[in-house]
Amino acid sequence: MKYTNLFTVVVILLVLAGGLGQSAGAENGADEIKIGLVAPLTGGASTTGNDMWQSAVLAADEINAAGGVNVNGVNMQITLVKGDTATSTEAGVKAVTKLITEDKVDILVGGFSSGITYADSVVAAEHKVPFIITGASSPTITRRTDIDTTYFFHFIATTSDYSESNLLFVNEVVKPAIYERFNFPEDRPLRLGVLYQDTAYGAGVYEGIERVIEEYDLNMEVVAAEKFKMSEKDFRTILTVIKADNPDVVFPASFLNEQTLIVAQGRRDVGLNTIYLSVICNDDPDYYTGVERWGEYSIQDSIFGPYAIPAGPIHDAVVKFRDDFEAKWGASPSMMGATTYEGVYIAAEAVKNAGTLDNEKVRDALDELDMPQDIFAMKGGVISFSPDYRESKFEPYVQQLIWDESVGETRPVIVWPDSVKETDFLLPDWYEPGSAPAETAKPTGTPAPTAAGTSGAAPTPAAAAPTAAAEVPEEPGFGAGFALAGLLAVAYLVLRKQK
């Protein structure tokens, strides 16, 4: 096995070595802009990957139909080239190498799975090809120091940002509702239980929780922090441990298939009747279906979702994008499809501003980008990249899941911030706070109202949620992926220096 793994690494290095010395994106008199779409078009995450491809096609078709991109007086059409990472690190490295050295793309867009992108982005760095990352959420992609990351631009919310909107919402809305009902003193810290995936993704979210509590001086304490393995299916033991620590709110750092089971098993099997938070990447139709009624009143953070659209300046653009996507492809777009759609527009704008396909000048144009927001609400109302790690900053919103009898599923309604909220947060009748052992939590006053058409009572066992993980895309391979990615990066650069 040891020699087999070594052989695999050597083969990949030889593929990389074959492309050394070749350039991409140079001016050659072409009348097209070649964008390499890096995505898992096959393999376990192919559903997400193909959604990214379809979204990129929609964006390119729109730009080309409007006359293309004016590059220093020449109208250029966009040509998309597929780079299938096949949901694996090795295939990702090969795909990006081919896009750069054979297909001669001018710019890369996409990248799903931080483990895979951590590896294949090494090739982009070596060849100095701009890479707009729209699917890998770990900030390590642009913050690593072992390679030149100045050609990488992160257009997706990163795990370091996942915790901020959730915790600020809890502090501003959920905590006061709990304390008023149970007559808790204001100086009592809110008790937070955390479950986090034993990967760089999960660790990133947990580190974000600690950072936000400290940075905003929130009166909260993490009373339980438990790890679990990626793709775990039975969370009852770990949830029982967390329940014993008496949390007021539970914050899982999980993927969609895990989140579904955590909420269902926590409510149904463990009796952990609390408010469950969920991170941005889980805002997906499959989650609302899979969590069944056990997910009612739980919280879903978002920057783009399948159902709720925030009011304001981006509303009409989001409606148009969703309608156009559904008309062309017969399905709803995902969040990572939406970021990839925007990523193609960002690439076009950067090339137009640069007035050339020269890689360095396009990179500089991305550094200086100040583009009006479109289908995502952005900090300051513009798409730009931070000067330190080249990350875009989004304006997230928070939704609460409410049971919709007409469709037999939960549906999200926006409850925060006030500027876009559709209704007030509801603390259900069945909610149980996590009193510390010396405390006695007794409701006072009138219980919070329940949603129209519901009683606020816990669902009966007949509405049991699924007990097996749903077949949905996940961001795979963090553990093994980062280990292999690190080996590839070091070996590749050593080989480069030897040449």
Q: Which long-range contacts (CB under 8 A, 24 or more apart) does 231-238 make?
A: 231/257, 231/258, 231/469, 231/474, 232/258, 232/261, 233/261, 233/467, 233/468, 233/469, 234/261, 234/265, 235/195, 235/261, 235/262, 235/265, 235/266, 236/265, 236/269, 236/270, 238/195
The reply to whether 253 falls in a domain is: yes
- The tokens for 307 are 């159902």
Does any domain span residue 468? no
Do both 455 and 420 map to the same domain?
A: yes
pLDDT tens, position by position, 181-237: 999 999 999 999 999 998 778 888 999 999 999 999 999 999 999 999 988 999 999
Structural domain includes residue 447: yes
Q: Which tens digit of pLDDT belongs to each residue from 125-147?
A: 999 999 999 998 889 999 999 99
Residues whose CB is less than 8 angstroms from the CB of residue 448 and which lie 6 or more positions away in sequence, other chains included: 177, 181, 426, 427, 428, 429
Is the pLDDT reported for residue 339 higher than 90? yes
Asked if the structure places residue 311 within a domain, the reply is no
Q: Which pLDDT score is estimated for 443?
A: 65
DSSP β-bridge partners for residue 107: 35
* 35 and 130, same domain (yes or no): yes
Q: Residue 355: what pLDDT?
A: 97
Same domain, 269 and 147: no
Phi, psi of 378 (to 5 degrees): -115, 155
If asked whether residues 118 and 191 sit together in one domain, one would say no
- The band of 458, judged by pLDDT with boundaries at 50, 70 and 90, is low
- Of 2-11, 26-35, 86-95, where does mean pLDDT reach its minimum? 2-11
200 in the same domain as 293: yes
Into how many domains does the chain fold?
Answer: 2
Question: Quick check: is 270 in a domain?
Answer: yes
Per-residue pLDDT reduced to its tens digit, 28-87: 456 899 999 999 999 888 888 999 999 999 999 999 999 999 999 999 999 999 999 998
On whether residue 246 sits in a domain, the answer given is yes
pLDDT band at 459 (very low <50, low <70, confident <90, very high): low
The residue among 312, 270, 345, 254 whose CA lies nearest residue 69 is 345
Mean pLDDT in the chain?
86
In this predicted structure, the answer to whether residue 17 has a pLDDT above a threshold of 50 is no
Distance CA 64, CA 345 (A): 11
- Which one is predicted more confidently, 69 or 496? 69
Q: DSSP code of 495?
A: H
Structure tokens at 488: 């590839």
Is residue 322 located within the same domain as residue 342? yes
| Same-domain check for residues 101 and 137 | yes
What is the distance between the alpha carbons of residues 454 and 430, in angstroms, rounded to a whole number? Answer: 12
Amino acid in the structure at residue 399: Q
CATH code, domain carrying 94: 3.40.50.2300
Split at pLDDT 50, 70, 90, the class of 242 is very high
Is pLDDT above 80 for 175? yes
- Range of the structural domain that residue 438 is part of: 160-302+396-463
Do 290 and 466 touch, CB atoms closer than 8 A?
yes
Give me the sign of the Cα torsion angle 245, 248, 254, 257.
positive
Answer positive or negative: Cα dihedral of 78, 374, 281, 305. Answer: negative
388 and 400 fall within a common domain: no
Residues 248 and 203 placed together within one structural domain of the fold? yes
Same-domain pairing of 53 and 131: yes
Does residue 189 lie within any of the structural domains? yes
Is 358 found in the same domain as 342? yes
In a domain, 313, yes or no: no
What is residue 42's predicted lDDT score, i.e. its pLDDT? 93
Same-domain check for residues 413 and 447: yes
Q: Percentage of residues in the chain with pLDDT exceeding 70?
A: 81
